[in-house]
């Protein structure tokens, strides 16, 4: 249940803090005072698209936060826990917050933690259900009709299972079709792949093979220079009387006897001895490498030819030389896939059959649920139409199997049937599609009848109706108010209305007014006392001139409304 909303610098609201209660709360005010601003603000905190125009003129950003009690929102509480967004310090509440800058950038928070708009919407859909004043316009769309029926039937689980199974079936079927089409040219493809893999296999390339081959080529190509330079280095290090190793030995021989006379020479002797050891090791290593070096024109020619073959193959396959090993493995995998295509096709065919059977089972269950719900909803909406000023009207939902190009049922993500709302507004008419027979006012009333009924299903704790009573009045308006009040006995209902008959039936009454302060327009909302409420109903009844008779009529309407359960 929505318990509190805080709005700052949103549209023409500078700052507003408002508490809400259980039951039916009506929101009224003069035309143009901004009755729907409160709904717009709540829509923002529930994840609606942000716009910089929403920021109050002269302000850097708008901020809206809403607090919800979770005692009647078990599904939302479970969602918060599974997404690790619940508030351990206050598990019985949840706070949603949204900020929008004048540049149009927005941020969203759940229980003080930054989150995405998608997550804000997911949670918001489990907390609040908003019915807009133009919602009847969407009622003529088939997808909206299906959604309303499924919502009333309260079989979300099977709807989701049908959608999931369809997507799985679709994915497997797509794989089957792709592989089956490829199989038609499989023989030629296999011949080509075998030739390519054998050609690359002959190169015998490993991941590091190219690098090793290039290093060998450098050594062979520069063997003469390596040999000459290495021999000269060996001679300098060790091969004549003036070699470095002999000079170091001579230094050690000179200094060693002097250690008894001067201990400070010890580190010098130690470093010279260490240098002699390093020179000896370097000489040994260089001699081994020199022994391994030789001029081998034949091997050089072989390596150059092999590198040329590798680069030719890389150009042919349009990859870089170092990518040839991975490319070879890819071609081997494609060849194996084609070689095993028959087995794979058989396996996919079996999977398609299993998914088809499972889909039909779920779709059949969904169709039965829809037909059962449609039968009940037909009667309930028809009854409400009679009470809402259409005594000869009747409502009918058809659940018709979809047919594919052949005789089989057509698979869709939403099931195997088409949902359509039909209506007749007079007894002698044939039921036809809503947009072909119902006027705007009739469509609005039919929409309201459906909304009130379907809103009683599911576990969403807060329902909002934003001027859905447009186009009705008199006795019908009072019936609408009674239905909303009845709904408010079990749920929290907030209704923006311009009808005194509806307003009088609220458990609580909020008034919106617009004030001009310091040349700035500001919208304010206040909870009305009993006396102030009587005056507001009288205003709605009488307009500018409110007489004692009008006030008496308002008092009578409120008193009569309080007798309603």
Instruction: State residue 427's pLDDT score.
Output: 80
Instruction: State residue 136's pLDDT score.
Output: 54
Instruction: State residue 426's pLDDT score.
Output: 80
Lowest mean pLDDT among 216-225, 347-356, 373-382: 216-225
**pLDDT, tens only, 399-422:** 998 876 655 668 899 999 999 999
Question: Does 334 have pLDDT greater than 60?
Answer: yes
pTM, to two decimals: 0.61
Confidence of residue 346 (pLDDT cuts 50, 70, 90): confident
Nearest-angstrom CA–CA distance, 55 and 548:
42
**pLDDT, tens only, 197-232:** 888 887 777 766 777 777 766 776 666 566 667 667
Confidence of residue 391 (pLDDT cuts 50, 70, 90): confident
144-148, 162-166, 236-240: range with highest mean pLDDT: 162-166
438: its two tokens: 């119902």
Q: CB within 8 A of 226, min separation 6: which ones?
A: 219, 293
Measured N-to-C along each axis, helices 156-184 and 186-203 cross at an angle, to the nearest 10 degrees, of: 80
**CA distances (Å), 210 to each of 203, 296, 301, 310, 371, in order?**
10, 20, 16, 8, 69
**pLDDT, tens only, 492-548:** 999 988 899 999 999 999 998 887 766 677 778 889 999 999 999 999 888 677 888
Instruction: Decide if 115 contacts 103 (C-beta within 8 A).
Output: no
Confidence of residue 51 (pLDDT cuts 50, 70, 90): confident
Instruction: State residue 398's pLDDT score.
Output: 94
Count of other CB atoms within 10 angstroms of residue 514 = 14
Q: What is the mean pLDDT of residues 249-278?
A: 82
Question: Does 444 have pLDDT greater than 70?
Answer: no
Q: Which carries the bigger pLDDT value, residue 364 or residue 304?
A: 364
Q: Of 510, 502, 509, nearest to 564 (Cα)?
A: 502
Instruction: Decide if 54 contacts 10 (C-beta within 8 A).
Output: yes
Q: Which carries the bigger pLDDT value, residue 9 or residue 280?
A: 9
Instruction: State residue 246's pLDDT score.
Output: 78
143-147, 300-304, 352-356, 473-477: range with highest mean pLDDT: 352-356
Question: Does 140 have pLDDT greater than 60?
Answer: yes
Question: Does 135 have pLDDT greater than 70?
Answer: no
Lowest mean pLDDT among 35-44, 79-88, 98-107, 124-133: 124-133
Q: What is the mean pLDDT of residues 443-455?
A: 74
Question: Does 24 have pLDDT greater than 80?
Answer: yes
Q: What is the mean pLDDT of residues 459-467?
A: 81
Question: Does 163 have pLDDT greater than 60?
Answer: yes
């Amino acid at each position: 249940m929505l318990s509190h909303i805080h709005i700052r610098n949103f549209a023409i609201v500078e700052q507003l803090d408002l508490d809400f209660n259980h039951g039916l709360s009506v929101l009224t005010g003069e035309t143009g005072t901004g009755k729907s601003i409160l709904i717009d603000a709540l829509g923002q905190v529930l994840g609606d698209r942000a716009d910089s125009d929403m920021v109050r003129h002269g302000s850097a950003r708008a901020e809206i936060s809403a607090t919800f009690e979770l005692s009647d929102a078990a599904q939302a509480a479970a969602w918060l826990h599974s997404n690790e967004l619940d508030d351990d310090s206050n598990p019985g509440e949840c706070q949603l917050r949204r900020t929008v800058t004048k540049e149009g950038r927005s941020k969203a928070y759940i229980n003080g933690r930054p989150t995405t708009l998608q997550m804000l919407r997911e949670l918001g859909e489990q907390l609040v259900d908003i019915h807009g004043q133009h919602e009847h316009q969407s009622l003529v769309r088939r997808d909206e009709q299906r959604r309303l029926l499924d919502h009333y039937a309260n079989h979300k689980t099977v709807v989701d299972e049908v959608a999931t199974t369809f997507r799985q079936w679709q994915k497997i079927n797509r794989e089957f079709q792709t592989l089956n089409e490829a199989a038609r040219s499989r023989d030629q493809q296999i011949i080509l792949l075998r030739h390519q893999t054998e050609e690359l296999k002959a190169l015998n390339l490993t991941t590091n093979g190219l690098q090793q081959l290039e290093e060998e080529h450098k050594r062979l190509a520069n063997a003469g220079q390596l040999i000459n330079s290495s021999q000269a280095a060996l001679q300098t290090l060790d091969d004549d009387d003036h070699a470095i190793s002999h000079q170091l030995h001579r230094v050690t021989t000179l200094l060693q006897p002097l250690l008894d006379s001067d201990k400070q020479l010890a580190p010098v002797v130690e470093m010279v001895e260490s240098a002699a050891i390093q020179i000896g090791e370097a000489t040994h290593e260089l001699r081994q490498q020199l022994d391994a070096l030789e001029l081998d024109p034949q091997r050089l020619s072989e390596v150059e030819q092999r590198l040329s073959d590798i680069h030719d193959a890389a150009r042919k396959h349009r990859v870089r030389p170092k990518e040839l090993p991975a490319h070879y493995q890819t071609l081997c995998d494609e060849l194996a896939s084609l070689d095993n295509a028959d087995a794979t096709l058989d396996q996919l065919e079996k999977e398609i059959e299993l998914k088809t059977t499972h889909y039909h089972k779920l779709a059949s269950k969904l169709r039965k649920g829809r037909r059962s719900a449609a039968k009940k909803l037909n009667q309930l909406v028809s009854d409400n139409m009679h009470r809402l000023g259409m005594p000869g009207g009747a409502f009918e939902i058809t659940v018709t199997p979809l047919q594919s190009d052949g005789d089989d049922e057509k698979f869709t993500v939403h099931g195997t049937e088409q949902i359509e709302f039909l209506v007749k507004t007079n007894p002698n008419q044939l039921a036809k599609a809503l947009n072909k027979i119902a006027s705007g006012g009739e469509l609005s009333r039919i929409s309201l009848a459906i909304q009130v009924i379907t809103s009683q299903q599911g576990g969403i704790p807060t329902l909002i109706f934003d001027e859905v009573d447009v186009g009705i009045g008199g006795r019908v308006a009072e019936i609408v108010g009674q239905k909303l009040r009845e709904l408010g006995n079990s749920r929290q209902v907030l209704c923006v209305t311009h009808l005194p008959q509806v307003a009088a039936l609220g458990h609580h009454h909020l008034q919106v007014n617009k004030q001009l302060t310091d040349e700035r327009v500001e919208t304010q909302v206040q909870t009305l006392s009993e006396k102030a409420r009587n005056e507001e109903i009288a205003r709605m009844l009488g307009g500018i001139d409110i007489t004692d008779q009008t006030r008496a009529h308002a008092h009578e309407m409120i008193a009569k409304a309080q007798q309603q359960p």
